[in-house]
Amino acid sequence: MGEASAGNLLNMSLLARTRHLMARHGLRPVKSLGQNFLIDGNIAQRIASAAVDCGPSCIIEIGPGLGALTRLLADAEVPVIAFEKDRKLKTPLDELLGGLPSVQVRSEDFLKADLSAHLGEGTVACGNLPYYITTPILEKLFLASTPLRAIVVTAQREVVDRIQAAPGSPEYGSLTVFCEYFVECVESVCALRPSVFIPPPSVQSMAVRMTPRRRPPEAVASPEHFFSGLRAAFGYRRKTLKKALATAPQTGLSPADSDAVLAEAAISPQRRGETLSFDEFTALGNALAAWEEAR
């Protein structure tokens, strides 16, 4: 397979370019790294635009793969720092991005990377995520020391459904409430059928743009107690809240204490955690904090 300049690569369709880079560098998608390469140029453009339209001052990309999004993100003309765990992708990525001074490809595990130098008011994270580590990646992004301006990611449809679920629905769970704590709004960018990737994943996918809160929800008096209530409620989701709170070791509540805390939060002890709204989780966390303080 002959050498193609970066200019020639850009004249190819995303499918042809991806096939060319794989053949030329003898690459096969690595399943254990969640490698499904996007081959639909229109979808790549929609996802990259969702990030670029936020007016970022810096873009952090998670898992650039063969650069489907990276090349488009570079159009923002701000620093793009792309963390790719698979070292074998460095040469093809450099070939594609050749000479673009704003793009830095780091052959690093994103979960271990130090992001501090790249975080600021205008930092945007973007990526078609490796699905095997979606939740730890989101946690790392939510817990960034400076809240990101936006997080634009493609994830399994099922995970996006869990993030956007309503209380009482089968998808509603700790991930829903966890995300609501950190994220002000979630917008759908586009749906991705398996056929827009090579190889096609066995699941449907969805790209979303999340806007993290600039500061934690004001009504939450104590994050520690909020998350303690959340873990208890969903850790024992088949039990009533009264039993779940009294069973969860981290709360330290007896069944009678559990009744008192729930009365303080104005929540029936017979309800199950999976029916509680975000505001009710806030009330529960605040009641747990007040109970501990009064002890």
Q: Which of 40, 52, 56, 64 binds ligand SAM (CB under 6 A)?
A: 64
Of 84-92, 212-220, 231-239, 275-283: span binding ligand SAM (CB under 6 A): 84-92
* Contact flag: residue 110 with ligand SAM (CB under 6 A): yes
CB of 191 to ligand SAM, least distance (A): 15
Helix, strand or coil for residue 62? strand
Q: Which of 65, 229, 269, 285 binds ligand SAM (CB under 6 A)?
A: 65
Which residues, at least 6 apart from 47, have a Cβ–Cβ distance to it below 8 Å? 69, 126, 128, 152, 154, 189, 190, 207
* Contact flag: residue 134 with ligand SAM (CB under 6 A): no
Size of the site for ligand SAM (CB under 6 A): 23
106 vs 272, beta carbon nearer ligand SAM: 106
Please tell me whether the peptide bond between 79 and the residue prior to it is cis, using omega within 30 degrees of 0.
no
28 vs 295, beta carbon nearer ligand SAM: 28
CB of 29 to ligand SAM, least distance (A): 8
Cβ atoms within 10 Å of 15's Cβ, excluding its own: 15
Which residues, at least 6 apart from 107, have a Cβ–Cβ distance to it below 8 Å? 84, 85, 86, 87, 90
**C-alpha separations of 186 from 87, 132, 152, 254, 280 in Å:** 32, 21, 10, 38, 21
Residues 150-189 that bind ligand SAM (CB under 6 A): none
* Contact flag: residue 128 with ligand SAM (CB under 6 A): yes
Q: How large is the C-alpha radius of gyration of the chain?
A: 22
Which residues, at least 6 apart from 57, have a Cβ–Cβ distance to it below 8 Å? 78, 120, 121, 122, 123
CB of 104 to ligand SAM, least distance (A): 14
Calpha distance 234→96 (Å, rounded):
46
56 vs 63, beta carbon nearer ligand SAM: 63
68 vs 233, beta carbon nearer ligand SAM: 68
Residues 33-62 that bind ligand SAM (CB under 6 A): 33-38, 62
134 within 8 A of 206, measured Cβ to Cβ: no
272 within 8 A of 239, measured Cβ to Cβ: yes
* Contact flag: residue 269 with ligand SAM (CB under 6 A): no
Calpha distance 231→217 (Å, rounded):
18
* Contact flag: residue 92 with ligand SAM (CB under 6 A): no
Enumerate binding residues for ligand SAM (CB under 6 A): 33-38, 62-66, 68-69, 83-86, 109-111, 128, 130, 133
